[in-house]
A = this chain, B = another copy of it.
Amino acid sequence: MQRAKKKYMEFKALNIAEFLHGTIEGDENISVNNVSKIEDGKPGTLAFLSNPKYERYIYETEASIVLVKNDFTPERAIKATLIRVDDPYQAFASLLDLYEQAKQLKSGIEQPSFIDPSATVGENIYFGAFAYLGQNSTLGNKVKIYPQVFIGSDVTIGDNTIIYAGAKIYDGSVIGSNCIIHAGAVIGSDGFGFAPRADGSYQKIPQVGNVILEDHVEIGANTTIDCSTMGSTIIRKGAKLDNLIQVAHNCEVGENTVMAALTGIAGSTKIGKNCMFGGQVGVAGHLTIGDDVKIGAMAGVSNNIKAGKTVLGAPAMDHDQALKSFVVYRRLPQMRDQLIDLQKEVTELKSKLNKQ
């Protein structure tokens, strides 16, 4: 079993330059174990300089290594070791990716853990201690299940998917490949459905559907996605949900739609693709939100929204109209005073006119 460290992998300038096909200026044996922004670089970290606006920081940075453009000409002495590359930002991003992949080298099945004899697991998986895999469930290849994850019965999880510690996947869920589910997320909890009885109490409506996450979906920490009453609650390919979001039963979230934290989507609402939701948005049930819709933070959506629209406010309005209404709202007390003044003036005018 291998587990990589987050912060203490050491890389030498020599090896980094080789990986990036860059050229070194300075100490080729200096090593780093983390990254930093150039403006707050610390010894032992690697930074990059891409935007000329930040050039002044390179003369003061404490970062040990800085990636710079091939044609960068310093105006003064630089303490850091430089690695010259074509595109410092791209190079930096590829280092981060490498770093992340190294972090994900965990593999093997830790003990104690629980894998039902009827479950099937792929090759090169990581299955952490105290994780649970229920009856007839299936894990694809290279899946990483962190400790204390619960996976119920009849769950399918595609290749390369990562489920972080303590996430809970209810029976019958279908999780695609290359998904990431963060700690504490709950997939497939019962939809909130109750039929009122004559005496004021409620009869639970069984929720026998499931949740489907398509490929490349990311679900944030402690986010909850309820199963459908019948059929499936669906999160389409490439959608990204932040932390503490609620998606109710029978909803559908379109491809590549992103939602910020604490947003709530009520039951049976269908959301299009490539939408962007700010934080703490609320969307009522049984609505249709078109493709490419943008919803500002804290907006309350109680009507369908056509494709391409941007809305704001609670209740949500067209973005420009919302801004205009809000500008006047801030000055409502003055406006009321003006109205009262005007009433007085008109009363005076009338009395004057009547006297004539």
Contacts and interface: CB of A to CB of B under 8 A. Distances in A.
Nearest to A204: B218
Interface string A321-343: 10011111111110110110011
Given A172-B6, A201-B238, A326-B315, A262 B264 contact: yes
A244 interface: yes
A49 to B, nearest CB: 14
A147 B240 CA distance: 28
A76 interface: no
A88 B266 CA distance: 27
Given A339-B339, A345-B350, A135 B5 contact: yes
A327 B325 CA distance: 11
A317 to B, nearest CB: 6
B230 A224 contact: no
A165 B349 contact: no
A168 interface: yes
A261 B243 contact: no
A183 B189 contact: yes
Q: Name, among A112, A189, A321, A333, the residue most crowded by chain B CB atoms within 10 Å (CB to CB).
A: A189
Contact of A216 (B100, B201, B256): B201
Contacts of A150: 146-148, 165-166, 183
Nearest to A174: B7
A182 interface: yes
Q: Name, among A183, A216, A231, the residue most crowded by chain B CB atoms within 10 Å (CB to CB).
A: A183
Interface stretch (A20-28, A79-87, A124-132): A124-132
A298 B297 contact: no
A37 interface: yes
Contacts of A205: 93, 96
Nearest to A147: B132
Contacts of A264: 244, 260-262, 279-280
Interface string A184-206: 10100110101000001110111
A36 interface: yes
Given A5-B171, A321-B330, 12 more contacts: A7-B171, A7-B172, A8-B154, A96-B205, A150-B165, A165-B168, A192-B240, A222-B224, A246-B262, A280-B280, A315-B326, A329-B329
24 contacts: A3-B134, A6-B208, A7-B154, A37-B230, A96-B208, A129-B132, A132-B148, A146-B150, A148-B148, A148-B150, A150-B165, A166-B166, A168-B221, A182-B186, A184-B184, A189-B243, A194-B258, A202-B240, A243-B246, A261-B266, A266-B279, A282-B298, A298-B300, A339-B342
